[in-house]
Structure 1
Amino acid sequence: MYATTYHRPASITDAVKLQSSFDEAKYVSGGMTLIPTMKQRLAAPSDLVDLRHIAELKGITVNGRRVRIGAGTTHHEVSTSAEIEAVCPAACHLAAHIGDPHVRHMGTIGGSIANNDPAADYPAAMLALDATIITNAREIPAGDFFTGLFETALEDGEIVVAVAFDAPAKAAYAKFANPASRYAMAGVFVAKAENGSVRVAVTGAGSNGVFRHAGLEDALAADWSADAVSAVEVDASDLLSDLHGSAEYRANLVKVMAKRAVAAT
């Protein structure tokens, strides 16, 4: 690891000021991606601005079916939240199956979506739940937030403050996890809103990161059942192929995970 200078701001305002004061400064939250990358000398920020201790970024609020989760909330806190469990248990289930206990106690929802790893779980939830990503400067619909592999709509210095969404009538998440990393080789989050509209988001399989699948959405809007998924074709041409599995293998996994998710609702 190259030398870096550590900063621990107490507020979002202080964090933004610190980050803008140095040419190569980076925000760090749970550090689940940045710190290992620094250890491999693949990243060398001059300064680290730690967001973990900012009270404004923490906490879970549920008003009726409206859910707001602070960006500094850990995966463990989401997974064990009785308030979220009461209205959207799928979000708790997703969080409970991220990585291992160490990752779940250190990693945060804001850090996960800001990093936008193509195999991360939360981006699929944000897309399927039609969430709003709240930053220190604006509010961004999830559909506009995730822009590509490890890329988001965040501007330089912008901080994710919270995510918010309306809990759907039905939702579930199923993933086929890499046995070593627990990252999704294919993960599917299905959500049916109170008005009957359906959103299906896929992670771990797309060559350009997380995406919605229109065919699955149309089929499930007409018939919310695992059987409806069987008739849907998942095109392998836009899917990821690597040493863990071919694009065709992932295409099959997407259908299998979609069936499992619907069956779990």
Structure 2
Amino acid sequence: MEKLTEQSSRYIALEKQSVGTLLQQINQEDRQVALAVQQALPHIEAFVEALVPRMENGGRLVYIGAGTSGRLGVLDASECPPTFGIPADQVMGILAGGDGAIRKAVEFAEDHVDQGWKDLKAIAINEQDTLLAIAASGSTPYTLGALQQANRHGLLTACVVCNADSPIAAEAKYPITVLTGPELITGSTRMKAGTAQKMVLNMISTTVMIRLGRVKGNKMVDMQLSNHKLKQRGIAILMEETGLDSQTAGCLIDRYGNVRRALEAI
């Protein structure tokens, strides 16, 4: 398999470039990412259409990956409960090497082909759930092994990869391939490939939550009001939706602790 993400950078002698030149070159490469994601929109749409009814019936969305890919899954999953007010386990991120690998790389964690499924069994993965494998290379053993077992156990499976004709894409029922090409630093997929993966995960989780009714109009009415800024945002939403003054809206937010419940009470 030819790995576009591993091909040599188009740029040379980076260490001799000025800061301004380096920034311009990185920005030039990053401009291509959204266009690459656009090409994958039909595949993203097909996956979301299959995912939503499963989550409506109680299934979970589980991301799995290693290194940057796995960390991006953990990040997206961790942002869903405060943003959309869902249970902490409805969207989950599993990372090769465990939670400790979020901050510090765990050597060879991605090379264990059986460990991914063991980690999934630890969260009681079942056939109602959906597994989304994330791997820039499309061939990470940890992620591929988990995907293979998930298919054998009847889960809905998908992937986000950045190389064509990859083993992981061949295994996933809903493959999403975003061809971001060579990186500025050869093989450093934390750059364009990572940006593309973050964009796709944002698109998936946001669209799913909208379809699950977790957004009203364009407002986060189910967000967790866990700090002063978010409480003020909740008050502003309530004022805009109802025409109430700030004091009355604030009292309702304090009483119900949630924008949606306050709106329903009104």
Larger helix proportion of the pair: 2
Larger RCO: 1 or 2 (CA < 8 Å, sep 6+): 2
Q: Sort the TM-score into its range (normalised by shorter chain).
A: under 0.3
Please give the TM-score of this superposition, normalised by the length of structure 1.
0.22
Please give the TM-score of this superposition, normalised by the length of structure 2.
0.22
The structure number with the bigger radius of gyration is 2
